[in-house]
Amino acid sequence: MVASTKKVGVMIAVIVISSMIIVGTGIGIWFGVKSNLHPDPGWTLNINGNVQGGNTTITMSEILNMPAYKAEYEVRAKTNTIYLFQGAILANLFQDEITIDPSAENVTFIAVDDYQWTFPIAEIQNNNTYILAYMQNNQYLDSFDDGGNGYLWLIVPNYDEFDFNGQRCVKNTIEMYFE
């Protein structure tokens, strides 16, 4: 009877430990996969205003296939934080994907909450470090619906060491409006 009680105890211990390993591995895999989820390839960025051919969209899949730039940017606002961002180079987007009407002088980046910032088009066309970031610290950005900063975050470099660029780095970017 003592031997069978030991066997039952060992079997229970094996089952409990095995279950913990399986559940722990599953949770670890889920968190690992979740943190690297690829953005929805069908999600679209709206392109409106003075663009030839009328208002249009660009899919996330198209954005992910564009030339990318990856660098550390310091986002200065209430706090100063350095992040490693990767995203589509806006100068390439303007040149290769969007036919901007020659009368357009400015582009406004609009967030899901209607926050916006306007830049002269020439400023962006002449700078390969203005990006629509889709990755931060080697992780894809979470959608706004999932509680993240949206699939795209407009990232611009600091002008100098005293520049607070945070207000120009538009999170949750869903639209570019040319005027």
Q: Where are the domains of the chain?
A: 1-35, 44-178
Q: What pLDDT was estimated at residue 148?
A: 85
The residue among 92, 94, 147 whose CA lies nearest residue 120 is: 94
How many of the other CB atoms lie within 10 Å of CB of 10? Answer: 10
pTM of the model as a whole: 0.78
The token pair that represents 150 in the structure block: 């949206």
How much is the pLDDT for 163?
A: 86
Which tokens is 164 given? 């607070």
DSSP conformational letter for 101: -
151: exposed, middle or buried (C-beta count within 10 Å: 0-12, 13-18, 19+)?
buried
pLDDT at 35: 44
Contact 172, 113 (CB under 8 A): yes
| Residue 37 confidence (pLDDT) | 61
Phi, psi of 90 (to 5 degrees): -65, -35
> What would be the CATH architecture of the domain defined by 44-178?
Alpha-Beta Complex (3.90)
The pLDDT assigned to 144 comes to 81
The single-letter code of the amino acid at 30 is: W
Asked whether the beta carbons of 126 and 134 are under 8 A apart, the reply is no
pLDDT tens per residue across all 179 residues of the chain: 556 666 765 666 556 565 555 555 444 434 444 445 678 999 999 999 999 999 999 999 999 999 999 999 999 988 889 999 999 999 999 999 999 999 999 999 999 999 999 999 999 998 999 999 999 999 999 988 888 889 999 999 998 888 889 999 999 999 999 99
Would you state the pLDDT for residue 18? 56
**Structural element, H or E, at residue 18:** helix 2-35
